[in-house]
């Protein structure tokens, strides 16, 4: 392959060459071109990630700003189609101004062919995008159609850049504020993983590829000795806490990395999603996070989780669902923002999923959110609970307040508290509480928290490892 430095004028901009970027992404000496060398601004190759075959493509920021013309787009389509034929992941490295102006509508047509190829491959092979520099227009929507977007610090994603924004709307904003890592990790939710450097971005893409392409084998016996995971919860039941240490401790330790490769940590943080390994096998984790909005489900959180569940289902990744949820978030903003429509996506995603999926109620699970977090009737493989967990329509105190409102009001002040406490205890016994959930079969078993990892791994390994047959629409 010709290196960029040998190509006329191509080093003027000083961006790393696509050859170097692909070499940094793929296993050493594994890179094979998918097409004869040409002067286009895209290189497509075959290679390996930790030994697993992949295809990959990279736009050449030094060639017409990495813009996408007919030849460039054909190389990308070829890489996607090769991945489909060979049933392997395809990774795109993006640094591109979008459709090539000089080719006019032919380049628009070509970019549309890239989109069509991505959508045809969606859900059949994992598609990853790494944003290494500005990626505008077609170069923004391309990655948006793939399963995972990793962004380097220099990455920028927008439909139209600051110049056009200013011209059309009068808004003044710089490239980074408009479409940099901060905007897309916290405000838009476009980016799944924000990296600390270009090398880190490529490393993270390798790790996610490895988790999806080399899922491993469940070995429940391998989970190391008991871990007292309940010690990670606060003493007081009302106190919110960060779920992430619990997620990290449920997963296998990783010598080099955080055990949990979290997706979209800064967006809709009240639900936590990401990949890791449990007893040697890749799993997807969906967990409510009480420290953010109490762990309530809202529109954004439901969409975030729904898309992740559907991605895992596409690629046969079993799911671990950790639940400590007070409900769907109430309020005008949520209702008018479509929490009914958007929240329904999570119900749909779980009920549709055929991968093994196990739920653990760590503390409480109320109301509509009980249903949405992979409940028994949505066909969860198993639903487990820790001791003292509560599964109910609402907390017993709130329920008694509604059911016995008139009777409570009729009592004298000095009687009221005592009677209410008695009714709360009664209600917990008859309607809420874990005993009722067990007798109904909506919770399979109360488990010893120290055996959590073993119980979850055993349950996931016990059922057939199916995978869904649907695309991964960017919900």
Partner 1 sequence: MAEEIRAEIVGYVIEVVAAEGQAVRRGDHVVVVESMKMEIPTVVEDPGTVTSLHAAVGDFVNEGDLIAVIE
Q: Could you list the active site residues? A: 137-138, 368-369
Residue owning tokens 């010598």 = 255
Among 294, 316, 368, 471, binds partner 1 (CB under 8 A): 294
Among 97, 133, 395, 433, binds partner 1 (CB under 8 A): 395
Residues whose CB is less than 8 angstroms from the CB of residue 464 and which lie 6 or more positions away in sequence, other chains included: 356
Question: To the nearest whole angstrom, how small is the minimum distance from the Cβ of residue 241 to partner 1?
Answer: 9
Task: Work out the number of other CB atoms within 10 angstroms of the CB of residue 219.
Answer: 12
Question: To the nearest whole angstrom, how small is the minimum distance from the Cβ of residue 245 to partner 1?
Answer: 11
C-alpha pair distances (Å), 185 with each of 149, 164, 313: 10, 23, 24
For partner 1, the closer of residues 237 and 440 by Cβ is 237
For partner 1, the closer of residues 51 and 245 by Cβ is 245
Which 311-350 positions form the footprint of partner 1 (CB under 8 A)? 326-327, 329, 331, 333
Residue owning tokens 């990308």 = 76
**Quick check: 296 binds partner 1 (CB under 8 A)?**
yes
- Distance (Å, rounded) from C-alpha 64 to C-alpha 41? 7
For partner 1, the closer of residues 242 and 254 by Cβ is 242
Residue owning tokens 């996607």 = 80
Question: To the nearest whole angstrom, how small is the minimum distance from the Cβ of residue 216 to partner 1?
Answer: 32
Among 35, 230, 292, 458, binds partner 1 (CB under 8 A): 292
Angle between helices 105-121 and 70-86 (to 10 degrees): 10
Question: To the nearest whole angstrom, how small is the minimum distance from the Cβ of residue 368 to partner 1?
Answer: 13
Query: For residue 228, what is the DSSP state?
Result: -
- Using the rule CB under 8 A, give the single segment among 25-33, 190-198, 234-242, 408-416 that binds partner 1: 234-242
**Quick check: 153 binds partner 1 (CB under 8 A)?**
no
Question: To the nearest whole angstrom, how small is the minimum distance from the Cβ of residue 289 to partner 1?
Answer: 11
Pairing of strands 156-158, 127-136: parallel
- Distance (Å, rounded) from C-alpha 270 to C-alpha 367? 17
- Using the rule CB under 8 A, give the single segment among 102-110, 239-247, 385-393, 444-452 that binds partner 1: 239-247
| Helix residue spans in 48-186 (DSSP H) | 70-86, 105-121, 138-144, 162-169, 175-179, 181-182
For partner 1, the closer of residues 85 and 239 by Cβ is 239
- Distance (Å, rounded) from C-alpha 136 to C-alpha 165? 13
- Distance (Å, rounded) from C-alpha 339 to C-alpha 300? 8
For partner 1, the closer of residues 242 and 448 by Cβ is 242
> Binding string to partner 1 for residues 244 to 283, with x set by CB under 8 A, is what?
----------------------------------------
Angle between helices 18-25 and 198-213 (to 10 degrees): 50
- The two most distant CA atoms of the chain are separated, in Å, by 91
Question: To the nearest whole angstrom, how small is the minimum distance from the Cβ of residue 337 to partner 1?
Answer: 11
- Distance (Å, rounded) from C-alpha 71 to C-alpha 44? 11
Question: To the nearest whole angstrom, how small is the minimum distance from the Cβ of residue 293 to partner 1?
Answer: 5
Question: To the nearest whole angstrom, how small is the minimum distance from the Cβ of residue 399 to partner 1?
Answer: 12
Nearest CA among 256, 308, 313 for reference residue 287 = 308
Beta-bridged to residue 131, according to DSSP, are 94, 151
Which 8-67 positions form the footprint of partner 1 (CB under 8 A)? none
Using CB under 8 A, count the residues that bind partner 1.
18
**Quick check: 187 binds partner 1 (CB under 8 A)?**
no
Residue owning tokens 């996610």 = 208
Residues whose CB is less than 8 angstroms from the CB of residue 261 and which lie 6 or more positions away in sequence, other chains included: 193, 204, 207, 208, 211, 274, 275, 276
Question: To the nearest whole angstrom, how small is the minimum distance from the Cβ of residue 35 to partner 1?
Answer: 45
Among 64, 203, 277, 293, binds partner 1 (CB under 8 A): 293
Structural tokens at position 52:
């697993």
Among 236, 255, 412, 464, binds partner 1 (CB under 8 A): 236
Among 69, 290, 432, 468, binds partner 1 (CB under 8 A): 290
Given a contact cutoff of 8 angstroms between Cβ atoms, the answer to whether 113 and 78 are in contact is no
Among 29, 172, 238, 409, binds partner 1 (CB under 8 A): 238
3-state secondary structure of 30: coil
- Using the rule CB under 8 A, give the single segment among 42-50, 129-137, 289-297, 346-354 that binds partner 1: 289-297
For partner 1, the closer of residues 333 and 338 by Cβ is 333
Q: Is 37 exposed, middle or buried (0-12, 13-18, 19+ CB in 10 A)?
A: exposed
For partner 1, the closer of residues 99 and 329 by Cβ is 329
- Using the rule CB under 8 A, give the single segment among 10-18, 288-296, 335-343, 351-359 that binds partner 1: 288-296
Residues forming contacts to partner 1 in the complex (CB under 8 A) are 236, 238-240, 242, 290-294, 296, 326-327, 329, 331, 333, 395, 398
């Amino acid at each position: 392959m010709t290196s960029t430095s040998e190509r006329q004028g191509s080093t003027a901009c000083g961006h790393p060459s696509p050859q170097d970027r692909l070499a940094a992404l793929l296993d050493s000496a594994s890179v094979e071109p998918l097409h004869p060398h040409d002067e286009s601004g895209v290189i497509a190759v075959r290679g390996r990630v930790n030994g697993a075959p992949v295809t990959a493509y990279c736009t050449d920021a030094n060639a017409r700003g990495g813009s996408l013309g007919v030849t460039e787009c054909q190389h990308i389509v070829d890489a996607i189609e090769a991945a489909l034929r060979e049933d392997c992941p395809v990774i795109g490295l993006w640094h591109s101004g979008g459709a090539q102006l000089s080719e006019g509508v032919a380049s628009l047509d070509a970019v549309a062919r890239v989109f069509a190829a991505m959508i045809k491959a969606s859900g059949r092979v994992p598609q990853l995008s790494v944003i290494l520099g500005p990626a505008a227009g077609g170069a923004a929507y391309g990655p948006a159609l793939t399963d995972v977007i990793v962004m380097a610090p220099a990455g920028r994603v927008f439909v139209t850049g600051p110049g056009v924004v200013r011209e059309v709307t009068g808004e003044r904003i710089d490239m980074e504020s408009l479409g940099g890592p901060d905007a897309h990790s916290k405000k838009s939710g476009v980016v799944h993983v924000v990296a600390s450097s270009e090398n880190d971005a490529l490393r993270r893409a390798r790790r996610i590829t490895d988790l999806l392409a080399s899922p491993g084998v469940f070995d429940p016996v391998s989970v190391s000795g008991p871990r007292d995971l309940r010690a990670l919860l606060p003493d007081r039941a009302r106190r919110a806490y960060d779920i992430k240490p619990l997620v990290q401790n449920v997963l296998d330790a990783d010598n080099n990395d955080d055990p949990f490769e979290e997706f979209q940590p800064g967006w809709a943080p009240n639900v936590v999603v990401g990949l890791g390994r449990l007893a040697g096998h890749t799993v997807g984790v969906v967990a409510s996070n009480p420290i953010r909005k109490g762990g309530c489900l809202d529109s954004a959180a439901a969409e975030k989780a729904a898309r992740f569940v559907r991605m895992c289902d596409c690629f046969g990744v079993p799911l671990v669902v950790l639940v400590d949820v007070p409900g769907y978030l109430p309020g005008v903003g949520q209702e008018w923002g479509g929490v009914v429509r958007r929240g329904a996506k999570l119900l749909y995603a779980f009920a549709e999923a055929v991968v093994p999926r196990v739920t653990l109620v760590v503390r409480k699970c109320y109301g509509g959110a009980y249903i949405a977090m992979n409940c028994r009737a949505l066909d969860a493989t198993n639903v487990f609970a820790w001791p003292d967990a509560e599964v109910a329509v609402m907390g017993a105190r709130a329920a008694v307040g509604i059911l016995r409102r008139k009777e409570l009001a009729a009592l004298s002040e000095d009687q009221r508290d005592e009677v209410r406490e008695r009714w709360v205890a009664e209600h917990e016994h008859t309607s809420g509480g874990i005993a009722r959930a067990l007798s109904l079969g909506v919770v399979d078993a109360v488990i010893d928290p120290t055996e959590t990892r073993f119980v979850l791994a055993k349950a996931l390994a016990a059922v057939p490892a199916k995978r869904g047959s649907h695309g991964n629409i960017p919900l």
